[in-house]
């Protein structure tokens, strides 16, 4: 199919070229009636692309047109899903089209999700429904605006096809995802599980060259890679926790070595504070609950470390020892990152050894009292004076909060009010607003989605309307679904 509106995109295909044994060349499926429903002008410009011309490229965004230079491949990877290992997962409904070098010289993947079956589809139909693809778009934009590393959507296009989910007919769609790369812990596990050390080494060299070039010159590049990945993940999870983000499927195939948040499936933001918050219908044990995410971080990094054993040292025992020492450092590193994040959220003056306890005690005061996570922090400026301002009404019983506030005031930075407003968002993707926008989009009305995206793009703006308020009481418990 021709695509007269598509401007030239300068694709490269370094992944398919250098790591051919991790890819299968595979074409996207031709969509019957493509149409662009969401286009990310911002991101197009960041990529150095002609946004105006690209915005109408429905055939490309729906998978029906492979432009010159693009070389679609399905990527192989393995992964631990809910703790159980699958030696082969892979892109079951996605294709890497190629890479572009963005306006800042960074290599970014252009990836289609929902573009049809691949050799890795197993029982799946290879398709995606419009709602979940728009959800991924919205979540990525929210995280980006919050300053959290993330993959982002360049566009969502409908295919004109109707797909079935839970017996329900839904509009089919394709998301164009832009990522620093799609290399996952599971990508390393793919070769490690097969004992293919030479290929594993090539993957390591590629990953280092693409993401952590400083590790190439280290005394032990494999250990340096581990350190760089671990540092990025520690920072990332601390940032997730700070905004109440619950990823929902922290499987090792959904942990990107670039340090970006990836694979927005059943994720959602916690509203009323409860460390056990879980949204995903299939996470019955709460493995990926908000408060468990730092533990899963350590678990996933241990799985990554296992893959590196043959690359760290030919003497397996020495390799394991070196990696174990590092794994023991993850929990303290996370704790330090969390305390740093809380110093920012609480606008504390400098650093004090008691800051971790101060942060812990706020959370203890919130526990069981049901305050909205986002609003508790957002309203802190109203409590700088002598009373609990507009925070106490968020609590069922504000007794413990009232004991805590004077301790906090004693640690406040001089410019605390401004720092608090800059560190704590007013707007997060509230579950009821996301659902409302997706429901409208599914029946052809994009206005609520566009209004939501506009609000998410300025999370720190002064705002007291519905975009900055919790769900009405009637909204009930929110449940999200995987495999969408």
Q: Which residues are catalytic?
A: 253
β-pair partners for 245: 269
271 binding partner (options ligand AMP, Mg ion, none; Cβ < 5 to 8 Å by kind): none
Strands 73-75 and 84-86, by their bridges, are: unpaired
Comparing CB distances to ligand AMP, the nearer of 369 and 480 is: 480
CA distance 128 to 126: 7
> Shortest Cβ contact with Mg ion: which residue?
263
Give the shortest CB-219-to-ligand AMP separation in angstroms.
35
Comparing CB distances to ligand AMP, the nearer of 254 and 388 is: 254
| Helix 316-328 / helix 330-346 crossing angle, nearest 10 deg | 20
Comparing CB distances to ligand AMP, the nearer of 121 and 402 is: 121
Comparing CB distances to ligand AMP, the nearer of 206 and 288 is: 288
Give the shortest CB-158-to-ligand AMP separation in angstroms.
16
Nearest to 312 by CA among 202, 222, 196, 209: 222
193 binding partner (options Mg ion, ligand AMP, none; Cβ < 5 to 8 Å by kind): none
63 binding partner (options ligand AMP, Mg ion, none; Cβ < 5 to 8 Å by kind): none
Comparing CB distances to Mg ion, the nearer of 136 and 263 is: 263
Give the shortest CB-256-to-ligand AMP separation in angstroms.
11
CA distance 19 to 283: 34
91 binding partner (options Mg ion, ligand AMP, none; Cβ < 5 to 8 Å by kind): ligand AMP
In contact, 130 and 429? CB cutoff 8 Å: no
- Binding positions for Mg ion, 263-282, rule CB under 5 A: 263
From the CB of residue 6, how many other CB atoms can be counted at a distance below 10 Å?
19
DSSP sequence for 136-171: HHHHHHHHHHTT--B-EEEEEEEEEEEEEETTEEEE
CA distance 203 to 46: 28
Comparing CB distances to Mg ion, the nearer of 239 and 263 is: 263
Nearest to 157 by CA among 179, 137, 130: 130
Comparing CB distances to ligand AMP, the nearer of 254 and 376 is: 254
In contact, 266 and 481? CB cutoff 8 Å: yes
86 binding partner (options Mg ion, ligand AMP, none; Cβ < 5 to 8 Å by kind): none
Give the shortest CB-125-to-ligand AMP separation in angstroms.
5
Task: Check residue 283 for interaction with Mg ion (CB under 5 A).
Answer: no
CA distance 39 to 37: 7
436 binding partner (options ligand AMP, Mg ion, none; Cβ < 5 to 8 Å by kind): none
Give the shortest CB-254-to-ligand AMP separation in angstroms.
5
Give the shortest CB-126-to-ligand AMP separation in angstroms.
5
Task: Check residue 254 for interaction with Mg ion (CB under 5 A).
Answer: yes
Segment near Mg ion (CB under 5 A); pick from 157-165, 172-180, 249-257, 423-431:
249-257
CA distance 313 to 322: 9
Q: Helix or strand or coil: residue 113?
A: strand
Segment near Mg ion (CB under 5 A); pick from 28-36, 120-128, 202-210, 254-262:
254-262
Segment near Mg ion (CB under 5 A); pick from 12-20, 56-64, 134-142, 251-259:
251-259
**Joined tokens for residue 420:** 């608090």
Give the shortest CB-263-to-Mg ion separation in angstroms.
4
Spatial neighbors of 445 by CB under 8 A, at least 6 apart, are: none
In contact, 401 and 299? CB cutoff 8 Å: no
**Joined tokens for residue 333:** 């590193």
**Joined tokens for residue 114:** 């929902």
Chain residues that interact with ligand AMP, rule: CB under 6 A: 89-94, 120-121, 124-127, 249, 253-254, 263, 265, 482-483
**Joined tokens for residue 478:** 């929110």
> Which residues in this chain contact Mg ion in the complex, by CB under 5 A?
254, 263
């Amino acid at each position: 199919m021709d695509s007269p509106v598509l401007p030239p995109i300068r694709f490269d295909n370094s992944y398919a070229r250098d790591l051919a044994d991790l890819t299968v060349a595979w074409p996207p499926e031709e969509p019957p009636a493509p149409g662009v429903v969401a286009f990310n002008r911002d991101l197009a410009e960041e990529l150095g692309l002609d946004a105006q011309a690209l915005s109408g490229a429905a055939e490309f965004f729906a998978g029906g047109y492979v432009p010159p230079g693009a070389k679609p491949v399905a990527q192989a990877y393995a992964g631990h899903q809910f703790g159980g290992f699958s030696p082969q997962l892979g892109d079951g409904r996605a294709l890497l089209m190629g890479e572009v070098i963005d306006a800042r010289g960074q290599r970014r993947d252009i990836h289609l999700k929902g573009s049809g079956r691949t050799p890795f589809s197993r029982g799946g139909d290879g398709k995606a429904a419009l709602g979940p693809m728009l959800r991924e778009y919205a979540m990525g934009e929210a995280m980006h605006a919050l300053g959290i590393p993330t993959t982002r959507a360049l566009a969502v296009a409908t295919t004109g096809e109707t797909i079935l989910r839970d017996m329900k007919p839904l509009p089919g769609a394709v998301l164009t995802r832009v990522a620093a790369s799609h290399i996952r812990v599971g990508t390393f596990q793919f070769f490690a599980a097969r004992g293919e050390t030479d290929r594993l080494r090539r993957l390591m060299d590629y990953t280092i060259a693409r993401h952590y070039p400083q590790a190439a010159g280290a005394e032990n590049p494999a250990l340096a890679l581990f350190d760089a990945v671990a540092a990025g993940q520690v920072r990332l999870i601390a940032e997730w926790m700070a905004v109440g983000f619950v990823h929902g499927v922290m499987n090792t195939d959904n942990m990107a070595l670039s340090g970006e948040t990836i694979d927005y499936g059943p994720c959602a933001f916690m509203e009323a504070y409860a460390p056990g918050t879980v949204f995903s219908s299939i996470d019955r044990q709460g493995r990926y609950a908000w408060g468990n995410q730092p533990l899963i971080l350590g678990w996933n990094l241990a799985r990554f470390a296992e893959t590196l054993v043959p690359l760290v040292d030919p003497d397996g025992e020495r390799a394991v020892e070196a990696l174990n020492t590092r794994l023991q450092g993850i929990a303290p590193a996370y704790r330090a990152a969390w305390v740093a994040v809380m110093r920012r959220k609480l606008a504390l003056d400098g650093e004090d050894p008691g800051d971790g306890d101060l942060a812990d005690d706020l959370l203890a005061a919130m526990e069981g009292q049901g305050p909205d996570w986002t609003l508790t922090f957002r309203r802190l400026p109203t409590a700088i004076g002598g009373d609990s301002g507009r925070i106490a009404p968020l609590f069922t019983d504000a007794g413990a909060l009232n004991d805590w506030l004077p301790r906090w005031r004693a640690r406040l930075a001089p410019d605390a009010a401004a720092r608090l407003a800059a560190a704590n968002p007013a707007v997060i993707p509230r579950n009821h607003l996301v659902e409302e926008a997706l429901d409208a989009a599914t029946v052809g009305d994009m206005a609520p989605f566009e209004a939501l995206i506009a609000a998410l793009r300025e999370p720190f703006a002064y705002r007291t309307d519905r975009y900055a308020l919790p769900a009405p009481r009637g909204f009930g418990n929110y449940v999200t679904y995987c495999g969408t």
